[in-house]
């Protein structure tokens, strides 16, 4: 059993080593699960007592170590607003939950092995795993940061075919390579059977190299249709913990000043980061924004840029006479209801103002998971969250400039949802504007991972990404996923680029996460088989 845990630790180490932002190590993911699969198989072949529980434990150990090593930076954001011992406990929740779901996939695989053959069971394992990943982007505890297909974000030249499959194509490829190598090593190491080496190596090499070769061909031959638009992204570098104690007008003045350093007469978009337009809580009243001082200053700034638009993050609110939405809270002193939003706004030279309310809210911080569990609100509030204070909208909103250009206002955490970002593009977005604030995590790998994941959205949709981050890393990413310009961490800056707008729709944009849907159907079929088998045995 000790050897089994050594193999589990080896898998965790390889998964971490292959994960962003470590450069050019992503191919390790193609073999990283093999030690764990061999450890599990050894327990099955030996007929170990209570092997189902032991397999669960091995998989949980691998998942927990991998997640903790890769997203340790979650602790930084939490420890800034609460005591260290509580921060440690809360940080363990995303690590442990993901590991629990991963281990459950292996536990179900062990059940399949009791009743079905190896190949059938391995297909079931892949379906269970991909269904876990889809669940982890769909439910109220969503945190799809560690979806396997994200792992190639730092070696994007090898996954240009994500324009057809999205990140779930990457998850499937990783698992197929791991399973094939496992089958070869199982035969040699565990069953002590001879291998036909040329054929075995050729099969595995083909599965690895053919997708890479096709991707590299696509990467080096891809040409963007020339349709330029001048865009400026701004990085004000405001300490998020001191933001609300700083003079409001000073922050807007800084954003305008930085914008002017890169602005041209033909600049069409100025992208400012998440919550860039400040207002004392609960935020700017959307219905009264045209009389807001910040709005008037921005309009005055845009007078110098006839086709200019400011696309910015903003804290906003709406007031209702009745309980209009589930997230609205009652204002007792006014006998009215209020919704507060982490929002984006588009301001141009007309009187039109467009708003988008962030849809993918961070569990426990921006929303209470499973709203029916209202008794948990005091607990989350005690842990420093703003639970219950943010409203949301169900579907994305494309911002349209007066010139007709469509921009996708993607707010922070939303940029890791491929299918959601693709919906913007289907609705007419010609480029993707990501507004974010990664300063909560400090100078850790979290900010770099978040930037790398934006490259995946560029490839999936073949759209430029203009990324404005409060304290870094702001960047421009082209349609191949190349970072063509970026800022440094923790310094005020502005960048400009002539990006190419695109109206073409990729296969992935049109179809979404179809691979995950098929895997979920497969998962349901396997679960029915398991339940049916259990009933027959009773």
280 or 467, higher pLDDT: 467
pLDDT in tens, 109-118: 999 999 999 9
Strand 431-436 versus strand 465-469 pairing type: parallel
What is the pLDDT at residue 386? 40
Residue 384 in contact with residue 82, Cβ under 8 Å? yes
> Residue 387 — very low, low, confident or very high, per pLDDT cuts 50/70/90?
very low
Other C-beta atoms closer than 10 Å to the C-beta of 352 total 10
What is the pLDDT at residue 287? 95
Give the integer Cα–Cα distance in Å for 404 and 291.
Answer: 26
148 or 192, higher pLDDT: 148
pLDDT in tens, 184-194: 999 888 887 77
Give the integer Cα–Cα distance in Å for 270 and 235.
Answer: 11
pLDDT at 87 over 80: no
Give the integer Cα–Cα distance in Å for 206 and 212.
Answer: 10
Smallest CA-to-CA distance from 461 within 510, 397, 519, 404 is with 510
Secondary structure tally for the chain: helices H, strands E: 16, 14
Helix/strand/coil for 512: coil
What is the pLDDT at residue 379? 45
Phi first, then psi, for residue 294 (nearest 5°) are: -60, -40
Helix/strand/coil for 355: strand
Residue 426 in contact with residue 462, Cβ under 8 Å? no
What's the mean per-residue pLDDT of the chain? 91
Give the integer Cα–Cα distance in Å for 363 and 138.
Answer: 12
Percent of the chain at pLDDT above 70? 92
Query: To 10 degrees, what angle do helices 34-46 and 167-185 make?
Result: 50
Give the integer Cα–Cα distance in Å for 434 and 281.
Answer: 23
- 253-286 in b/e form (b: 16+ CB < 10 A) is ebbbebbeebbeeebbbbbbbbbbbbbeebbbeb
77 or 395, higher pLDDT: 395
pLDDT in tens, 30-66: 999 999 999 999 999 988 788 889 999 999 999 999 9
Mean pLDDT lowest among 313-322, 369-378, 437-446, 457-466 = 369-378
Tell whether pTM > 0.75: yes
Give the integer Cα–Cα distance in Å for 257 and 268.
Answer: 17
Per-residue tokens: 134: 């889809």
Smallest CA-to-CA distance from 275 within 336, 233, 316 is with 316
Instruction: Identify whether 282 is preceded by a cis peptide bond (ω within 30 of 0).
Output: yes
What is the pLDDT at residue 324? 82
What is the pLDDT at residue 196? 62
- 58-88 in b/e form (b: 16+ CB < 10 A) is bbbbbbbbbbbbbbebbbbbbbeeeeeeebe
Smallest CA-to-CA distance from 316 within 283, 345, 339 is with 283
410 DSSP β-pair partners: 434
139 or 62, higher pLDDT: 62
From its phi and psi, is residue 481 left (phi > 0), alpha (psi between -120 and 50) or beta? left
Average pLDDT on 240-259 reads 89
> Residue 535 — very low, low, confident or very high, per pLDDT cuts 50/70/90?
low
> Residue 369 — very low, low, confident or very high, per pLDDT cuts 50/70/90?
confident
Other C-beta atoms closer than 10 Å to the C-beta of 243 total 17
Mean pLDDT lowest among 204-208, 217-221, 249-253, 528-532 = 528-532
Per-residue tokens: 413: 């955490």
Tell me how far apart the terminal alpha carbons of the chain are, to the nearest angstrom. Answer: 31
pLDDT in tens, 195-222: 666 677 888 999 999 999 999 999 999 9
pLDDT at 455 over 60: yes
Cα 454–Cα 458–Cα 460 angle in degrees, nearest 5: 110
> Residue 85 — very low, low, confident or very high, per pLDDT cuts 50/70/90?
low
Alpha helices in 343-417 (DSSP H): 377-382
């Amino acid at each position: 059993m000790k050897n089994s845990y050594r193999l589990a630790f080896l898998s965790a180490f390889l998964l971490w080593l292959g994960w962003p932002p470590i450069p050019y190590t992503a191919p390790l993911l193609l073999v990283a699960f093999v030690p764990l699969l061999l450890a599990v198989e050894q327990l099955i072949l030996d007929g170990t007592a209570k092997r189902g529980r032991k397999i669960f434990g091995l998989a949980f150990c691998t998942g927990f170590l991998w997640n903790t090593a890769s997203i340790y930076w979650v602790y930084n954001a939490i420890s800034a607003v609460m005591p260290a011992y509580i921060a440690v406990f809360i940080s363990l929740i995303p690590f442990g939950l993901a590991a629990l779901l991963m281990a459950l996939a292996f536990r179900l695989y062990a059940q399949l092995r009791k009743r079905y053959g190896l190949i059938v069971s391995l297909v079931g394992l892949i379906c269970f795993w991909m269904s876990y990943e889809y669940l982890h982007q769909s439910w109220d505890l969503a945190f799809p940061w560690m979806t396997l297909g994200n792992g190639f974000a730092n070696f994007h030249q090898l996954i240009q075919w994500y324009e057809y499959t999205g990140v779930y194509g990457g998850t499937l490829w990783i698992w197929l390579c791991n399973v094939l190598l496992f089958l070869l090593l199982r035969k040699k190491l565990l069953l002590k059977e001879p291998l036909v080496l040329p054929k075995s190596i050729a099969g595995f090499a083909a599965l690895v190299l053919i997708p890479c070769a096709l991707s590299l061909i696509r990467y080096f031959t891809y040409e963007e249709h020339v349709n330029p638009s001048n865009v400026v992204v701004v990085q004000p570098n405001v300490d998020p913990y001191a933001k609300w104690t700083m003079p409001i007008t000073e922050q807007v003045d800084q954003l305008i000043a930085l914008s002017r350093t890169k602005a041209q007469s033909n600049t069409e978009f100025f992208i400012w980061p998440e919550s860039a337009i400040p207002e004392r809580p609960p935020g700017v009243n959307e219905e009264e924004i045209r009389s807001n001082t910040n709005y008037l200053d921005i309009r005055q700034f845009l007078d110098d840029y006839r086709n200019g638009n400011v696309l910015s993050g903003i804290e906003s609110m709406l007031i209702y006479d009745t309980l209009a939405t589930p997230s609205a809270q009652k204002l007792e002193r006014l006998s009215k209801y209020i919704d507060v939003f982490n929002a984006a706004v588009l301001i141009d030279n007309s009187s039109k103002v467009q708003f988008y309310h962030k849809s993918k809210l961070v569990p426990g911080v921006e929303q209470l998971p499973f709203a029916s569990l209202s008794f948990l609100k005091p607990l989350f509030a005690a842990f420093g969250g703003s639970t219950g204070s943010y409203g949301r909208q169900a579907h994305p909103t494309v911002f349209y400039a007066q010139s007709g250009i469509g921009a996708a206002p993607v707010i922070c955490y939303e940029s890791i949802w491929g299918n959601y970002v693709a919906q913007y593009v289907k609705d007419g977005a010609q480029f993707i504007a990501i507004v974010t604030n990664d300063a909560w995590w400090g100078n850790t790998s979290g900010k770099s991972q978040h930037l790398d994941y934006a490259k995946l959205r560029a490839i999936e949709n073949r759209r430029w990404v203009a990324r404005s981050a409060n304290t870094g890393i702001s960047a421009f990413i082209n349609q191949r996923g190349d970072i063509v310009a970026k800022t440094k961490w923790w310094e005020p800056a502005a960048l400009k680029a002539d990006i190419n707008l695109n109206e073409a729709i990729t296969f992935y944009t049109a179809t979404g996460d179809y691979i995950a849907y098929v895997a979920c159907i497969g998962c349901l079929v396997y679960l029915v088989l398991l339940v049916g088998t259990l009933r027959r045995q009773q």
